[in-house]
Amino acid sequence: MFSLTGKIAAVTGAGSGIGKAIAELFARQGAVVAAIDVDDAAAAATAAGIVASGFAARAFAGDVGDGASVTSVFGRLESEFGTLDILVNNAGISHIGNVQTTSEEDFDRVYRVNVKGVFLCAKAGIDIMLRHGGGVIVNMASIASHIGLPDRFAYSMSKGAVLMMTKAIAVDYVKKNIRCNCISPARVHTPFVDGFLKQHYPGREQEMLAKLSDYQPVGRMGTPEEVAILALYLCSDEASFVTGQAYPIDGGVMAQ
């Protein structure tokens, strides 16, 4: 079950965190992985680690918020692999602030990556999938797509858009053998979280880590690997009856 043998899978934001975990798991399950990241060294490191473990991957440096870059990356991907079976739109950035403290520049920056980036990659990926009989898309949303979070105005805006793009793609392409779902995590312990705490709470990292962990009723953050397992299910043939859905993985946050 959950084999991806013979599949070509593109993962954006594959240089670290959830994207890296997804790329590594998909490769172990048999996929040939295109590890895409704006940080070319990080993408290369992910791909090299996968290859060193005996699996197949190739690094692609690309900026998901730039149309020319996305066109180039997906063009090279199709030229090299011949098709695209799976696309995971994972690349994203965060922002802290309410509507009054969010600058226009901050808003545009979050929109460019989290919304425009998903749009551009989905458009390019679907173009390839339609030429080769279909495929699967998983977008990375958030619990912020569903509930209000304090001081996450721009971020919540962007993840709400991801949720509705997911549903729109699902209904537009359901008859063309393309499925589209999204994952809505609560807090996940990634290197980004550690870097954020070091930057904003120097000397108080452990205190704030405990506070962030306690937000989830289960008393801890999720792990990138747990999110990757859910992505694997949604991208596998075992989920062939699932499309247009948002799957929370939140430690009980939305059950409250």
The answer to whether residue 13 sits within a structural domain is yes
Pair 196, 137 in one domain: no
CA–CA dist 229, 227 (Å, integer):
5
- In a domain, residue 134? The reply is yes
Do 22 and 121 share a domain, yes or no?
A: yes
Are residues 145 and 166 part of one domain?
yes
Q: How confident is the model at residue 199 (pLDDT cuts 50, 70, 90)?
A: confident
Same domain assignment for residues 156 and 201: no
Is residue 2 in some structural domain? no
Q: What percent of the chain has pLDDT over 90?
A: 96
Examine the domain organization and report whether 14 and 47 are in the same domain.
Answer: yes
Per the structure, how many domains does the chain have? Answer: 2
pLDDT at 211: 93
What does the mean pLDDT of the chain come to? 97
Between the two ends of the chain, the Cα-to-Cα distance in Å is 33
In a domain, 107, yes or no: yes
As a whole number of angstroms, the distance between CA 190 and CA 135 comes to 28
Give yes or no: residues 84 and 206 share one domain: no
Residue 14 has pLDDT above 90, yes or no: yes
**79 shares a domain with 125:** yes
What does each C-alpha distance from 236 to 155, 217, 231, 233, 239 come to in angstroms?
Answer: 29, 29, 9, 5, 6
* Inside any domain, residue 237: yes
> Is residue 214 domain-shared with residue 237, that is, in the same domain?
no
Using alpha carbons, list the distances in angstroms from residue 226 to 24, 103, 140, 199: 13, 34, 13, 26
Q: How far is CA 161 from CA 37, 113, 121, 164, in A?
A: 21, 12, 15, 5
CATH of the domain at 110: 3.40.50.720
> Which residues are catalytically annotated?
155
Statement: residue 146 has pLDDT above 90: yes
Q: Is residue 14 assigned to a domain?
A: yes
pLDDT > 90? residue 192: no
Token pair listed for 170 = 């699902």
**pLDDT, position 152:** 96
Does residue 195 share a domain with residue 93? no
Q: Are residues 110 and 213 in the same domain?
A: no
- Do 241 and 129 have their domain in common? yes
40 and 80 assigned to the same domain: yes
Q: CB under 8 Å to 77, separation ≥6 — which residues?
A: 8, 10, 34, 60, 84, 128
Residue type at position 74 = F
Q: pLDDT digit string (tens) for 60-96?
A: 999 999 999 999 999 999 999 999 999 999 999 999 9
How far, in whole angstroms, is CA 90 from its chain's centroid?
2
Looking at residues 126-142, what average pLDDT do you find? 98
In a domain, 172, yes or no: yes
pLDDT at 159 over 90: yes
What pLDDT is attached to residue 224? 98
Q: Print the domain residue range for 236.
A: 8-186+223-250
Q: Is the pLDDT of residue 200 over 90?
A: no
In 3D, which of 187, 148, 141, 186 has the Cα closest to residue 163?
Answer: 141
Residue 197 lies in a domain: yes
The pLDDT confidence band at residue 115, using thresholds 50, 70 and 90, is very high
Give the DSSP H or E segment for 178.
strand 178-185
Strands ordered across the beta sheet of 86-89: 57-61, 32-37, 8-12, 86-89, 135-140, 178-185, 246-249
